[in-house]
Amino acid sequence: MYIRSAVAAPCIGLASLAIATVAASQDTRRAEATRTFTTVCAECHGESQSGRTPSRYSLGQLSPRAIVQALENGVMKTEGAALTRDQRIGVAELLSGRAYERTAFPERAWCAQRGPAPLILSSISWMGFGGALTGTGFQSAVRAKLEATDVPKLTLAWAFAFPEAVQVRTHPTVVGDVILVGGSFGEVVALDAATGCMRWMYEADAGVRGTILVGPGSGGRTLVYFADFRTNAYALDVASGEIVWKTRVGRHPEANITGSPALHAGQLIVPISSMEVVTAGNPRYECCTSSGGVASVDAATGAIRWYHRVIPDSARPAGTNAAGTALFAPSGAPVWASPTIDAKRGLVYVGTGENYTRPASGTSDAILALRLADGSLAWSFQGTRDDAFTMACTAQRNRENCPSPSGPDHDFGMSPLIVTRADGKEILVVGQKSGVVFALDPDAGGARLWSTRVGKGSALGGIHWGMAADNRLVYAANSDRAAIVAPDTVSMPSSPGLYALDLVTGQSVWKVPAAADTCTGRQGCFAANSAAPTVIPGAVFAGGLDGHIRAHATSDGRVLWDFDTVREYETVNGVAGRGGAIDGPGPVIANGFVYVNSGYGTFGQMPGNVLLAFSARRR
């Protein structure tokens, strides 16, 4: 007994010493991380949200992996480049309160029969930001296999979660009984459409923001095309698992891709934006030299056929800011959203954003019509003139790289819609973050047919992500978040919600205000509609920043179905899942299922990591 006690005492002492040493080490790491955050991050990410910059609370809702990803390959990679790997991980652990670790898909996530298999092009029922056939967010009854009368019967069929993700923003592509979807960390996953189990997965170099595309390759192969945040475009043969080609299309160090590419007649048309809007928040950053762009990539070889620079002239010295840092202009006009192909006219339409420095250009906040043959500009329509803005304009201090005067940040952030009205006339319909919907004539050089204001607009919309249309109405989701607001609308009341406008006259047919009572007790919840809608005959589906997905009658806007996605889920792949804000792409409706992304941990909104599948069929 005595011997055992004598041995035990030193062991207890050593254990206590080890625990104390670990605790001291953890305290040291935390103190170092706190110093790093205070020095590098706190200026923009304080206790309260400022404009589009997430507060410290909002960052605390992210996973450590998501924060590290943002600092290494995402929106904060410039700031992250000045830190060591340990410092980036330390800041991530400090903010999230969790240890950093890479979580993989568990074994139970996989289908019994896994592995790549040929994809049949004729079985595509939804592809691209606006859908498989029309690009308008409209799905026919034949392809939807869902009647408006069955919408109230929709129930959750399955939920799939992405490990450590805080948002799901890739629009699912439906090919036969397979769903293709991308993840925040570069995952490209093929899921069984009925059950959600994984058939195969490929990992890209960075997060995949846009839609996965399917098209013909050489030698009769069917290829999968996509692009990652670092502007790499890929062609993948899923039958063999072989990468056919990979090409970086961005020309500027801060170039990135947020929209989906478009595939047409052997060309992969890729939109290019720039994160200089964020890096300009550093007063020592020489702002700014990038321009938005559009690249045409040969779908067979990956070679770049043509490259259109939105601002034709390269940036030149334009003085210094108040900190003595050199300024350059013109710059900016990023292309955030997906291109729209007009095969009939041989054109591709894109929307552009604001300038980053002055003088402003004539192609910012504009709709551009580019020739598919060579990328040259056929015509342009500018929605807002003289708009120059960077994230420095949202800061309390360090505003040196905010243009003076600062603009309202009224991007065209959505894909233009080519709509055939009931009278047979084709028109181009597009919404702007100004809160205005425009109808343009593609046969008259983009001449304005009508314009209708549905909201006061702001840096977070207005019409942020998109609209949908049938042959009678266009359905606009209006956010009107309290962010930067233009002087001429600041006194207007906010009017977030869903609007239906007549395609011939532009007059409002009905509107449904965003629910005002769903955010009680929810941090990062906003009563607003920002995500793109989707429409089938008789019903239009619209997600909210409050986490609800709702279906409205196209006749009068009344709610047919409402599902609150903000909850924890038992997922089919065994990964912890939770829903959040619904933003970005609209729902995908195909073969009797409604697929909804839930979770958008950006701009201070509720994070989440699930793809939800709803069905009206009895299971």
Is 582 among the domain residues?
no
Is 130 among the domain residues?
no
How far is it, in rounded angstroms, from Cα 398 to Cα 419?
45
91 and 221 both lie in a single domain: no
276 and 390 both lie in a single domain: yes
What one-letter code names the amino acid at 299? Answer: A
pLDDT in tens, 574-616: 999 999 999 999 999 999 999 999 999 988 999 999 999 999 9
Using CB atoms within 10 A of its CB, is residue 106 exposed (0-12), middle (13-18) or buried (19+)?
Answer: exposed
For the entire predicted model, the pTM comes to: 0.88
DSSP assignment letter at 150: G
Edge-to-edge strands, sheet with 559-564: 534-536, 539-543, 548-553, 559-564
Is 449 among the domain residues?
no
| Interior angle at CA 38, CA 35 and CA 42, nearest 5 | 160
Cβ-contact 328, 291 below 8 angstroms: no
How far is it, in rounded angstroms, from Cα 596 to Cα 614?
8
Q: Which residues of the chain have pLDDT under 70?
A: 1-24, 46-55, 57-58, 60-62, 102-103, 130-134, 618-619
Bridge-partner residues for 255, per DSSP?
274
Q: Which two tokens stand for residue 418?
A: 């080519």
Provide the pLDDT for residue 134: 64
Cβ-contact 252, 262 below 8 angstroms: no
Is 7 among the domain residues?
no
Cβ-contact 560, 554 below 8 angstroms: no
Is 546 among the domain residues?
no
Using CB atoms within 10 A of its CB, is residue 513 exposed (0-12), middle (13-18) or buried (19+)?
Answer: middle
219 and 363 both lie in a single domain: yes
Is 553 among the domain residues?
no
205 and 87 both lie in a single domain: no
CA distances to 214, 255, 308, 333, 368 from 250, rounded to whole Å, are 22, 5, 11, 15, 19
Provide the pLDDT for residue 619: 56
85 and 219 both lie in a single domain: no
264 and 393 both lie in a single domain: yes
89 and 205 both lie in a single domain: no
CA distances to 64, 331, 406 from 355, rounded to whole Å, are 33, 6, 10
Using CB atoms within 10 A of its CB, is residue 450 exposed (0-12), middle (13-18) or buried (19+)?
Answer: middle
Closest CA relative to residue 130, chosen from 281, 339, 317: 339
Where is the domain boundary, 77, 96, 115?
96
Q: Which domain holds residue 31?
A: 24-96
Q: Which two tokens stand for residue 527?
A: 């009563």
Q: Which two tokens stand for residue 225?
A: 């095309």
Using CB atoms within 10 A of its CB, is residue 343 exposed (0-12), middle (13-18) or buried (19+)?
Answer: exposed
215 and 92 both lie in a single domain: no
Where is the domain boundary, 51, 77, 96?
96
Q: Which residues of 516-538 are buried (b: 16+ CB within 10 A; e: fewer)?
A: eebbeeeebbbbbbbbbbbbbeb
How far is it, in rounded angstroms, from Cα 410 to Cα 419?
23
How far is it, in rounded angstroms, from Cα 246 to Cα 575?
30
Provide the pLDDT for residue 413: 94
Provide the pLDDT for residue 24: 56
Is 171 among the domain residues?
no
How far is it, in rounded angstroms, from Cα 532 to Cα 211?
14
| Interior angle at CA 211, CA 92 and CA 227, nearest 5 | 65
Cβ-contact 529, 496 below 8 angstroms: yes
Question: What is the number of other CB atoms lying within 10 angstroms of the CB of residue 617?
Answer: 14
Closest CA relative to residue 546, chosen from 525, 565, 566, 562: 525
Q: Which two tokens stand for residue 70?
A: 């943002």
Bridge-partner residues for 612, per DSSP?
159, 596
Please tell me the number of Cα atoms within 13 Å of 211 on its side-chain side.
34
CA distances to 250, 263, 417 from 215, rounded to whole Å, are 23, 8, 22
How far is it, in rounded angstroms, from Cα 503 to Cα 512?
18
236 and 351 both lie in a single domain: yes
Say what angle helices 64-72 and 85-96 make with each other, to 10 degrees.
Answer: 140
What one-letter code names the amino acid at 275? Answer: M
Bridge-partner residues for 539, per DSSP?
536, 553
If one counts the domains in the chain, the total is 2
CATH of the domain at 286: 2.40.128.630
Q: φ and ψ at 255, to 5 degrees?
A: -65, 145
Where is the domain boundary, 390, 411, 432?
411
Closest CA relative to residue 613, chosen from 63, 194, 315: 194
CATH of the domain at 31: 1.10.760
| Interior angle at CA 212, CA 119 and CA 355, nearest 5 | 160
Is 131 among the domain residues?
no
Q: φ and ψ at 465, to 5 degrees?
A: -110, -25
pLDDT in tens, 224-255: 999 998 899 999 998 877 899 999 999 998 99
Provide the pLDDT for residue 8: 42
Please tell me the number of Cα atoms within 13 Å of 202 on its side-chain side.
24
Q: Which residues of 309-329 are buried (b: 16+ CB within 10 A; e: fewer)?
A: bbbeeebeebeebeeeeebbb
